[in-house]
């Protein structure tokens, strides 16, 4: 990804300005190729050395589909892991329509390369909790599929002998970034995607961490303030209520209602209830101290979750999808300081921070890679 382009802005809800603001910190030294060190010694570039290239892979061609809140994105990967064809459809509401739409996407990318619908391995990423058998248990943004055996429903509509894999979309995206994206060459990866909520995926010692039931990675729902704001999951004070794009908007509105965010108020038509994350990030980029204070608060909440996860997982790299923090002076500095105060033994760790590279195709690419790897 070029340093001047921010493809994640489309899918995160943070907006282009916020994404630019956040990624600015990571990319502040262009020669470092998007790598910053969150903890410990000097940063190293991820652009050389141990990185694999996409062309170095050889695998069964496969199809991957990612079900997002608004779109269904399908890709067809070649034997060398390259995206040969892709399709984007609108996400339907009904459960049966979701299955139909997945298969339409599969048909589109299969037809583009002259193949039959059911002949290739298929991986599908869903926005929710999927067990290891492929049954959906909690999909807060796609409730219609809750309780359904998605893997079986898809498999019976295709060639029964073909591999069909279903899994959480952020887990799939993490595997893609580890295999062919920003975290190539790292064996211990934490991926954090900041959108309307927070998604996550983890690789430990080179293996995808899925958990006993397949539910690993629900990092956005770590409760970090039991008296905090309610979350769509039914609990209070989940991490994503503070450190996501929606969380930033909430912090900004609280500041605006308290009369502490005049700079963003102007951008929201002087209506404090209309203040969103993009208003405060734009104001912070323009150098307004009140907006920078809100971004520092946001950075603290982000650091709190990252420190908790680092204490548990001990990653060597954190991949940030969706966007991250402004230039050194606004967020990366406060993030690094807060992280050092919150994590155990920061001086003994070297944790690098990189921006996700695969953008909106990450989930589909990762699902296809896993389906190919689990074939045969
Ligand atoms: Zn929650």
From ligand 1's centre to the CA of 143, what distance in Å? Answer: 15
From ligand 1's centre to the CA of 342, what distance in Å? Answer: 22
From ligand 1's centre to the CA of 167, what distance in Å? Answer: 19
The confidence band for 172, taking pLDDT boundaries of 50, 70 and 90, is very high
From ligand 1's centre to the CA of 193, what distance in Å? Answer: 15
Q: Share the mean pLDDT of the chain.
A: 82
The confidence band for 32, taking pLDDT boundaries of 50, 70 and 90, is very low
> Can you tell me the distance from the alpha carbon of 142 to that of 145, in angstroms, rounded to the nearest whole number?
6
Closest alpha carbon to 26 in 319, 234, 367, 225: 319
From ligand 1's centre to the CA of 311, what distance in Å? Answer: 21
From ligand 1's centre to the CA of 33, what distance in Å? Answer: 34
User: CB 337: neighbour CB atoms within 10 A?
Assistant: 14
Per-residue pLDDT, 217: 95
Q: Which residues contact 97 (CB under 8 A, 6 or more apart)?
A: none
The confidence band for 47, taking pLDDT boundaries of 50, 70 and 90, is very low
> Can you tell me the distance from the alpha carbon of 184 to that of 134, in angstroms, rounded to the nearest whole number?
27
From ligand 1's centre to the CA of 253, what distance in Å? Answer: 20
The confidence band for 169, taking pLDDT boundaries of 50, 70 and 90, is very high
**Average pLDDT of the segment spanning 23-31:** 32
Q: What is the 3-state secondary structure (H, E, C) of the chain?
A: CCCCCCCCHHHHCCHHHHHHHHHHHHCCCHHHCCCEEEECCCCCCCCCCCCCCHHHCCCCCEEEEEECCCEEEEEEECCCCCEEEEEEEECCCCHHHHHHHHHHHHHHHHHHCCCCCCCCCEEEEECCEECCCCEEEECCCCHHHCCCEHHHHHHCCCCCCCCEEEEEHHHHHHHHHHHHCCCCCCCCEEEEEECCCEEEEEEECCEECCCCCCCCCCHHHCECCCCCCECCCCCECECHHHHCHHHHHHHHHHHHHCCCCHHHHHHCCCCHHHCCHHHHHHHHHCCCHHHHHHHHHHHHHHHHHHHHHHHHHCCCEEEEECCCCCHHHHHHHHHHHHHHHHCCCHHHCCEEEEECCCHHHHHHHHHHHHHHHCCC
More confident residue, 245 or 17: 245
More confident residue, 188 or 329: 188
From ligand 1's centre to the CA of 113, what distance in Å? Answer: 41
The pLDDT of residue 344 is above 50: yes
From ligand 1's centre to the CA of 361, what distance in Å? Answer: 25
* Per-residue pLDDT tens digits for 2-13: 222 223 222 233
Kindly list the structural domains of the chain, giving each domain's residue range(s) and its CATH number in brackets, ordered by start. Answer: 9-47+185-359 (3.30.420.40), 54-174+361-373 (3.30.420.40)
From ligand 1's centre to the CA of 199, what distance in Å? Answer: 11
Closest alpha carbon to 255 in 237, 232, 275: 275
Q: What is the radius of gyration, based on Cα positions, of the chain?
A: 20
> Can you tell me the distance from the alpha carbon of 92 to that of 72, in angstroms, rounded to the nearest whole number?
9
> Can you tell me the distance from the alpha carbon of 200 to that of 56, in angstroms, rounded to the nearest whole number?
26
From ligand 1's centre to the CA of 147, what distance in Å? Answer: 19
From ligand 1's centre to the CA of 237, what distance in Å? Answer: 7
The confidence band for 161, taking pLDDT boundaries of 50, 70 and 90, is confident
Per-residue pLDDT, 117: 65
From ligand 1's centre to the CA of 232, what distance in Å? Answer: 6
| Full-model pTM | 0.82
Query: Picking from 122-126, 265-269, 325-329, which range would have the lowest pLDDT averaged per residue?
Result: 325-329
More confident residue, 144 or 231: 231
From ligand 1's centre to the CA of 262, what distance in Å? Answer: 30
From ligand 1's centre to the CA of 295, what distance in Å? Answer: 22
């Amino acid at each position: 990804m070029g340093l001047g382009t921010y493809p994640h802005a489309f899918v995160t809800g943070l907006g282009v300005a916020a994404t630019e603001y956040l990624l600015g910190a990571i990319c502040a030294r262009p020669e470092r190729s998007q790598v910053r060190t969150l903890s410990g010694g000097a940063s190293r570039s991820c652009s050389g050395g141990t990185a694999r290239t996409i062309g170095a892979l050889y695998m069964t061609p496969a199809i991957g589909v990612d079900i997002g809140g608004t779109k269904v994105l399908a890709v067809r990967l070649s034997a060398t892991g390259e995206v040969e064809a892709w399709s984007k459809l609108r996400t339907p509401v009904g459960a049966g329509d979701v299955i139909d739409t997945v298969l339409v996407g599969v048909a589109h990318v299969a037809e583009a390369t002259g193949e039959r619908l059911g002949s290739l391995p298929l991986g599908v990423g869903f926005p929710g909790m999927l067990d290891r058998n492929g049954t959906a248990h909690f999909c807060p943004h796609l409730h219609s599929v809750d309780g359904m055996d998605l893997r079986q429903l898809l498999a019976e509509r295709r060639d029964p002998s073909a591999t069909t894999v279903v899994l959480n979309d952020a887990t799939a995206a993490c595997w893609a970034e580890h295999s062919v994206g920003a975290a190539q060459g790292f064996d211990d990866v934490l991926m954090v995607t900041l959108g309307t909520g927070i998604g996550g995926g983890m690789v430990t010692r080179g293996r995808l961490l899925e958990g006993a039931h397949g539910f690993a990675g629900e990092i956005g729902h770590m409760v970090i303030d039991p008296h905090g704001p309610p979350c769509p999951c039914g609990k209070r004070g989940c991490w994503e209520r503070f450190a996501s794009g929606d969380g930033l908007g909430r912090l900004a509105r609280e500041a605006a209602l308290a009369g502490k965010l005049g700079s963003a108020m102007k951008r929201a038509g002087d209506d404090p209830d209309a203040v969103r994350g993009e208003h405060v990030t734009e104001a912070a980029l323009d150098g307004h101290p009140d907006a920078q204070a809100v971004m520092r608060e946001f950075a603290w909440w982000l650091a709190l979750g990252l420190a908790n996860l680092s204490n548990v997982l001990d990653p060597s790299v954190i991949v940030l999808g969706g966007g991250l923090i402004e230039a050194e002076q606004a967020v990366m500095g406060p993030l690094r300081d807060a992280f050092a105060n919150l994590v155990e033994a920061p001086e003994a760790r070297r944790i690098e921070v990189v921006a996700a590279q695969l953008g909106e195709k990450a989930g589909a690419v990762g699902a296809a890679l896993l389906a190919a790897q689990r074939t045969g």
